[in-house]
Amino acid sequence: MDEKNFFSLLRQSNELKKNKSSLDPEAYDMLQEFLVTIEDNFHFSERQEYIDLAKDFLADRITADDFAGDFMGLYEGISGEVAQMEKDESLELTNFLKTS
């Protein structure tokens, strides 16, 4: 049920964006809750990348500036990928819909 509801809201939202309109507040809040869960789970799925980055920094293999830049690059890359999947209404989003 959650997947069906999520994709229905996502489809409505994408259509309304084309018309420069938006979902009603209740539907918007529901969609945002789904999207936050998806993005959080996506970041969690890439946790080893974050861990390896921290290990490199703690072992003095990279500088603080490199760590910060690489961390933000990883974070923003994932956020961008999720945004593109939302726009495309990708079925891959269902892999990150449920908390594991």
Q: Does pTM surpass 0.75?
A: yes
Per-residue pLDDT tens digits for 15-43: 998 888 888 999 999 999 999 999 999 99
pLDDT at residue number 20? 85
Regions of the chain where pLDDT drops below 70? 1, 100
Helix (H) / strand (E) containing 87: helix 64-88
Q: What secondary structure, in 3-state letters, does 12-72 show? A: HHHHHHHCCCCCCHHHHHHHHHHHHHHHHHHHHHCHHHHHHHHHHHHCCCCCHHHHHHHHH
pLDDT given at position 17: 87
